[in-house]
Chains A and B, each alone.
Chain A
Amino acid sequence: MATATSTIATQPSTKQVIRKSNFDRRNKSDLKHFWIMLSPALVWLVLFQIVPMFGIVMAFQDFNPGAGFFKSEFIGLENFKYMFELRDVRQVLVNTLVIALGKITLNLFVPLIFALMLNEMKQVRLVKFIQTSVYLPHFLSWVILSSIMLQIFGYNGPVNAFVMDLGKEPFSIFQQADLFRGFVISSDVWKNFGFNSIIYLAALAGIDVTLYEAAEIDGATRWGKLWHITLPSIQTTIALLAILSLGSILDAGFDQVYNMYNPLVYSTGDIIDTYVFRAGLQQLDFSFGTAVGLLKSIVSFVLITTGYWVAKKTVGYRIF
Chain B
Amino acid sequence: MANTGRISYAQLLETNNLLQTVTDETYWLCVTRTVQESKLFPVPPYMLLSYLNAFYRYPSLLRKIESRMSAEEVGDRVRTMGIKCQNPAVGWALPGFYLLGREWLINMGLLRPVDAVEDCIYVMDFWKRFQLSWHRNDGHITNREYGHRSQILPERRLQVFETDLYRCEAGDGLHIAASQFLASASQYGFLISCESRISLSNSGPYKLGDNSEMIVRDFMDLAEGDLPWLDGVAAEVPYNNLTVPMMVKDCHFYLVDDWGSFESEPEFRAENIAGVGLYTSDPLTEGYLPVGMASRDELIETFNEFNEVCKDATTKLWKRIAGWTRDQMIDAGALTYFAICKDLAHVAGVYEHEDWMLIDERAERFRPLLNDEFSRDCLGELVGLLTHPSQRCNEYTMMQHGDGPTRMYTPIPYSILDGDGYTPSSGPVYPGASNLPPKEDRYRTSQGILTLAEYNRQVREFQPMAQKYRHLDETWVKFNYDTPLADEMYKLEQARSRKLEGRGAGLTRADLEQFAD
Q: Is B one of A's binding partners? A: no
What is the interface of chain A, defined by CB distance below 8 A to chain B?
none
- Spell out B's residues near A (CB within 8 Å): none
